[in-house]
A and B are shown apart, each in its own frame.
Chain A
Amino acid sequence: MHEEKEFIQQLLDPRTQNEAFQSLILEYQRPLYNHIRNIVLNHDDTDDILQNTFIKIFQNLKNFKGESKLFSWMYRIATNEALNFLKQKSKMSGVTSEIIQNKVLDNLEADIFFDGDEIQLKLQKAIALLPEKQQLVFKMKYFEELKYEQISEILGTSVGGLKASYHIAVKKIEAFVTTN
């Protein structure tokens, strides 16, 4: 905690800001990329959102109160950016975000940046049928291997609620994969 405070001070100090922010990018680029990619599925969209996320983090560092951990604060920004991107996309095309996601899934097999096999593709299709919150919880727990406490800090949901959501999501996915 003390180290994080020191690091935040370095991020806010104009003399050390650039160096500190570069190390922040290097540390979090992969986990945040994976988090966003799991939500939007497409690499190019993920790249844009990841860049916007880091810009927002940079611009809002001075407003970061330290009430939550830097890690969960950044994940929250990334999650909001990704979900807002999907909402804007569906607004612009006049269809629901579920339809858009299904379209992306249909194109997933042809995506050069997806090399999943049959079971991986089936799993993605099963996840796409879940409600938004259950999708998020499942992806963060199963793919990103975050702890319930960490997910709770990011999404602002109780650990008990998250466990219930994950359990329901797993049951639905298992049912889908079994029958398809």
Chain B
Amino acid sequence: MKTFKLENEPKIESGFRTPNDYFENFSVKMMERLPASEPKVISIFQKRKTLFMMIAAILVLALMIPIIANWSQNKQELDSVALENYITYQSNVNQYDLINELETEDISKIKINVAIEDKAIEDVLAMNSNLENLLLE
């Protein structure tokens, strides 16, 4: 049996053929079948982009309100007048409570020497109607 060798044989064609004028008419037929240019698709988001952006901005601002409010409150400094007024009108701390809190050292710090003449003392005592009570105390 003779061994078949592809390279020794003349080129074997596929044997396929086409109908007459197939390629002559193909491009015309093909061009007619091509789809028309597709209209540009705009998504709902793109169409209402401004509206969506506005809603998003409002939401962000709304969420930031508590943070901003808290931040501005923290910024207020506690001044001494406000503190004094608060203690005077809003708290139950009385004079005696404050005295009890004072240490001997604190008292010595606020101790001041006041030079009062005898005449002045006499005048005060003469003007004070509760002299007897003061003497009893």
**Number of residues from B at the complex interface, CB < 8 A:** 26
In the bound complex, do residue A29 and residue B33 qualify as a contact, i.e. CB atoms below 8 Å apart?
Answer: no
Q: Using A119-B12, A174-B3 as known contacts, say yes or no to A25 and B31 having CB atoms under 8 A apart.
A: yes
Q: Using A59-B35, A174-B5, A177-B4 as known contacts, say yes or no to A26 and B15 having CB atoms under 8 A apart.
A: no
In the bound complex, do residue B23 and residue A30 qualify as a contact, i.e. CB atoms below 8 Å apart?
Answer: yes
* A114 interface residue per 8 A CB criterion: yes
* B16 interface residue per 8 A CB criterion: yes
Interface set, chain A 54-87, CB cutoff 8 A to B: 54-55, 58-59
Q: Using A22-B27, A54-B30 as known contacts, say yes or no to A116 and B1 having CB atoms under 8 A apart.
A: no
Taking the closest CB of chain A, its distance from the CB of B19, in whole angstroms, is 7
Majority-rule SS of B interface residues: loop
Majority-rule SS of A interface residues: helix
In the bound complex, do residue A114 and residue B33 qualify as a contact, i.e. CB atoms below 8 Å apart?
Answer: no
Residues of chain B having any CB pair with chain A under 8 Å? 1-6, 9, 12-19, 22-23, 26-27, 29-31, 33-35, 37
Residues of chain A having any CB pair with chain B under 8 Å? 14, 18, 21-22, 25-26, 29-30, 33-34, 37-38, 41, 43, 47, 50-51, 54-55, 58-59, 113-117, 119-121, 123-124, 142-143, 170, 173-174, 177-179
Sample of 5 more A-B contacts, CB < 8 Å, known A51-B29, A174-B6, A177-B4: A14-B37, A59-B35, A114-B17, A120-B15, A174-B5
